[in-house]
């Protein structure tokens, strides 16, 4: 049972742990012109926007049995080192009934630069059974460095400009103009490792969920085996809406003991809700 439950903490984010292969696919705009020194450094401007506030709720199933819940949330516009950023917050947890066997309480946070749509900072607070992992990663895009703080120790290493962390990468994908059949590459970073993430849009499908019916693109990331606590053995598919919101709707991955599914059951556009409440108040 423990091994069945353990993976729910990363199923929402595992789509970002992919290994690129040597191919000539369509390359995303993060491979812009090289900048040699900080004096000449300029932040890229992508002119793509995410919602300023939203909240997405997921049920997580194993073989049609609900084992947990997860939330993806854009909480606010914050400031990180003088840059305005989307504050992304995510949680994953087991149901209370399963906590006795294997309790999961995971939190991840990412700050994504509004103009450049790259990661500025990443926080992880992972609690799974007796295992606890806490880390902070700051990204210095001027010098193409990362600063990792974990267990009181600091590591500074090389990375790529415009790099994504394992949470911001999903949100970056929500800003890309997708087409069925295309493959997309961008730099991703986790722990001390930077790699090129490759994802292909393999199809389009209408998905019926508790939150409604959605026309979706199907994304299939190239999996990295033995990344983090999840030892991926099968393929992964991610459904995101084909409208301009690109809302994550469903994720499914195959593992040796079956399949894990995360599916949306509620979407809240916080700004829209506030506008509706304001309009109701004015009309009263």
Query: Taking Cα atoms as reference points, which of 58, 63, 24 lies closest to residue 184?
Result: 24
Residue 50 near residue 174, CB atoms below 8 Å: yes
Distance CA(35)–CA(42), nearest Å, equals: 8
Distance CA(37)–CA(60), nearest Å, equals: 46
DSSP state of 250: E
Q: Would you give per-residue pLDDT tens digits along the chain (284 residues)?
A: 444 434 443 343 333 333 333 323 344 433 333 433 466 899 999 999 999 999 999 999 988 899 999 999 999 999 999 999 999 999 999 999 989 988 889 999 999 999 999 999 999 999 988 889 999 999 999 999 999 999 999 999 999 999 999 899 999 999 999 999 999 999 999 999 999 989 999 999 999 999 999 999 999 987 554 343 333 445 789 999 999 999 999 999 776 667 889 999 999 987 665 555 555 444 44
- Residue 258, by phi and psi: left (phi above 0), alpha (psi -120 to 50) or beta? left
Q: How many CB atoms lie within 10 A of CB 195?
A: 17
pTM over 0.85: no
pLDDT of res. 140: 97
Distance CA(162)–CA(43), nearest Å, equals: 9
Q: For residue 244, give the H/E element and its range.
A: none
Distance CA(71)–CA(149), nearest Å, equals: 25
Phi, psi of 24, deg, nearest 5: -115, 65
Distance CA(61)–CA(68), nearest Å, equals: 7
* Measured CA distances, 200 to 44, 152, 185, 238 (Å): 24, 38, 9, 10
Residue-wise pLDDT for 135-172, tens only, equals 999 999 999 999 999 999 999 999 999 999 989 999 99
């Amino acid at each position: 049972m423990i091994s069945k439950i353990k993976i729910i903490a990363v199923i929402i984010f595992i789509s970002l742990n992919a290994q690129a292969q040597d191919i000539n696919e369509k390359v995303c705009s993060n491979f812009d012109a090289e900048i040699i020194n900080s004096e000449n450094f300029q932040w890229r401007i992508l002119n793509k926007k995410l919602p300023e506030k939203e909240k997405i709720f997921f049920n997580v199933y194993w073989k049609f049995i609900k084992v947990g819940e997860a939330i993806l949330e854009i909480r606010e516009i914050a400031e990180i080192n003088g840059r305005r950023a989307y504050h992304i917050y995510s949680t994953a947890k087991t149901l209370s009934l399963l906590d006795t066997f294997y309790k999961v309480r995971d939190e991840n946070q990412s700050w994504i630069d509004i103009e450049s749509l790259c990661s500025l900072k990443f926080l992880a607070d992972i609690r799974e059974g007796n295992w606890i992992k806490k880390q902070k990663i700051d990204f210095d895009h001027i010098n193409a460095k990362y600063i990792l703080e974990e267990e009181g120790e600091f590591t500074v290493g090389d990375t790529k400009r415009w790099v994504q962390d394992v949470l911001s990468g999903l949100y970056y994908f929500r800003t890309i103009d997708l087409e069925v059949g295309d493959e997309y590459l961008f730099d991703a970073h986790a722990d001390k490792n930077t790699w090129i993430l490759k994802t292909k849009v393999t199809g389009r499908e209408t998905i019926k969920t508790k939150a409604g019916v959605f026309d979706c693109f199907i994304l299939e990331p190239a999996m990295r085996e033995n990344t983090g606590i999840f030892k991926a053995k099968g393929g992964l598919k991610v459904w995101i809406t084909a409208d301009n919101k690109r809302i994550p709707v469903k994720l499914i991955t195959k593992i040796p003991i079956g399949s894990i599914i995360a599916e949306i059951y509620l979407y809240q556009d916080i700004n829209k809700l506030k506008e509706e409440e304001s309009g109701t108040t004015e009309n009263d």
